[in-house]
Each structure stands twice: as structure tokens, then as C-alpha cells.
Amino acid sequence: MKNWGFAIIILIAGIIGFGMAKNSEDTRGTISINTSSEAEIAPDVVEITVAIKTSDKNSLQKAAKENKDKSDKIYTMLQNMIDQQKGDYIKTANYDARPIYVYNHELKRQVMDKYEVSNQIVIHTQNIAQLGDIIDKAISLGATDINDLNFAVSEYEAKCRELIDEAAVKAYKRAEVAAAASRTKIIGVQSINANCSENSPRPVPYRMMAKGMLMANATMDAAIPEAATPIQSGTLKIYANFNANYWLK
């Protein structure tokens, strides 16, 4: 019985202590602060996709061989224009070989029109200055499309951490000002949420396809300028958003 009595006393004391702690916690207030930081940076990396499409009316092998010949020339050219020591690389993204069918209105059914082979080459490079030359040379060697032109910042994570740090300092200072004005002070952090995002407008490669069509035309005018296709890389904006809830006393 004595043991049971002692246990009951401890239980009651625990309940009282918990209630006091709970009341103490309830007397604390909180303050929420939302801040952000941003930076505008010139991209130093670009990734583009060069597509080579070939076809033949009678032979898939001929279409494939023509595609391989053009792709090999483009690969060789690209290898000479990128720097693998700096992390540049080339890879095949997609290869497709198939017959193409069209609807014949006289026969009222699908008929085989030609064999088509397509190959996509992805170029990842820091050589943005020569991007226009890369595109023009690829087109002159048989590329039919230039797709997925994306610019990026190689040190994105480092810049994100820097902006989050800046936003966090700003948030704490604002919280201190608000707390002081409310005759209280910060005693801890309840929660923190931070993230980064980017906003990169898609650049437009002016004259790219028009110039490529002219270069592929055997009768193109000799007066066409030799300047490379102008590529506007623009700037990339990185945003850091920081939200914190602070305990006040």
C-alpha cells in the first residue's frame, strides 16, 4: 500500500508539473517573418539539342547511313568546339528509325511513304561565346532542327545558399525590431522554411532556321552575311524565400 501511495504522489506531481510547463509554454508568443533575396546572374552554361533527320523512299539502310554520316561530321565538329576539361560533354539523346505512312485517298488506306531516321545530340558546354557558330556549323553539316536551348548557372547551389543566408539575416533583424516595438524579445525559433527558385526567360535564336535553310540551299545568295547566328543568353534570376516563426517572451 505504501508503494501505491508513493506512486500516486509522483503521478500527481507529474501532472501538476506538466500543467505548469504547459501554462508556461502558453504564455509564449510567436512572430512570423517572410523575407526574400534575389540576384541576377549571367548564365555560364548552355545546353542545346541538335536534331538530324534523314529519309529515303525505298531503303531504311540508306536513310540510316545518311544520318550516320551527317551525325559523325557534327560530332567531330562539336568535339573541336567544346572543352571536356571544363565539364563540357556531348551525348545522344534519342535515336529513331521507322517507316512513315500517309493516307492515300484513292486507295482509302494508309500506305508507306518513306523511311525516316532521326538522331538527337545534346551539347552541354560553357562555350557560350561560340554558341552561334556551333549552331550555324551544325546546320551547315546537316542538322535539321535546334531544340531545347537552355541557359544555366553552374554555381547555382552556392548562390542559393548565399541568398538564403542573406534572407535569414534580414528576417531575424526584422523580427528583433518588431519584438522590441512590442516590448518583448526573441527567445527561440519555432520553425524555418527556406527554398530557392529561378526565373530564366527562354532566349530566341534569331534567324537560326531561316539562315539554316539558306545554307542548305545550293542556290543561296553569295551576299548572305558570314556573321554567326546571334544568340541572346539574357540573365537568370535566382530567388531565395525565407519564412521563420520565432518564440517571444
pLDDT tens string 228-237: 667 777 788 9
Higher pLDDT, 211 or 156: 156
CATH number for 29-42+154-212+230-249 (one of 3.30.2310.20, 3.40.50.720, 1.10.530.10, 3.30.110.170): it is 3.30.110.170
Q: Residue 3 has what pLDDT? A: 53
Helix or strand (DSSP H, E) at 112: strand 109-125
Rounded mean pLDDT of the chain? 83
Contacts of 142 (CB under 8 A, 6+ apart): 52, 54, 70, 73, 74
- Identify whether the C-beta of residue 81 lies closer than 8 Å to the C-beta of residue 123: no
Q: Residue 28 has what pLDDT? A: 79
- Identify whether the C-beta of residue 53 lies closer than 8 Å to the C-beta of residue 145: yes
Longest dimension (CA), the chain: 111
Counting Cβ atoms within 10 Å, is residue 74 exposed (0-12), middle (13-18) or buried (19+)? Answer: buried
Q: Which residues is 189 bridged to in the sheet? A: 246
Type of residue found at 183:
R
For strands 186-199 and 236-248, give the pairing.
antiparallel
SS3 (DSSP) at 68: helix
Residues 162, 77: Cα–Cα separation, whole Å = 38
What CA dihedral angle connects 74, 79, 80 and 82, to 10 degrees? Answer: 120
Give the number of other CB atoms < 10 A from CB of residue 238. Answer: 20
Scored b (16 or more CB within 10 A) or e, 120-157 reads bbbbbbebbeebbbbbbbbbebbbbbbeebebebeeee
Q: Residue 183 has what pLDDT? A: 94
Write down the residue that cell numbers 512572430 correspond to: 31
Q: Residue 12 has what pLDDT? A: 47
Q: What would the mean pLDDT of 131-141 be, rounded to a whole number?
A: 93
Q: Where in the chain is the domain with CATH 3.30.110.170?
A: 29-42+154-212+230-249
Is the model's pLDDT at 124 over the cut of 80?
Answer: yes
Q: Where in the chain is the domain with CATH 3.30.70.2970?
A: 45-152
Higher pLDDT, 204 or 63: 63
Scored b (16 or more CB within 10 A) or e, 40-56 reads ebebebbebbbbbbbbb
Is the model's pLDDT at 216 over the cut of 90?
Answer: no
Question: Architecture of domain 45-152 in CATH?
Answer: 2-Layer Sandwich (3.30)
Phi, psi (deg, nearest 5) at residue 168 = -65, -45
17-32 pLDDT, tens per residue?
A: 545 445 445 567 999 9
Angle made by CA atoms 236, 238, 243, in degrees to the nearest 5: 165
- Identify whether the C-beta of residue 46 lies closer than 8 Å to the C-beta of residue 128: yes
Higher pLDDT, 65 or 211: 65
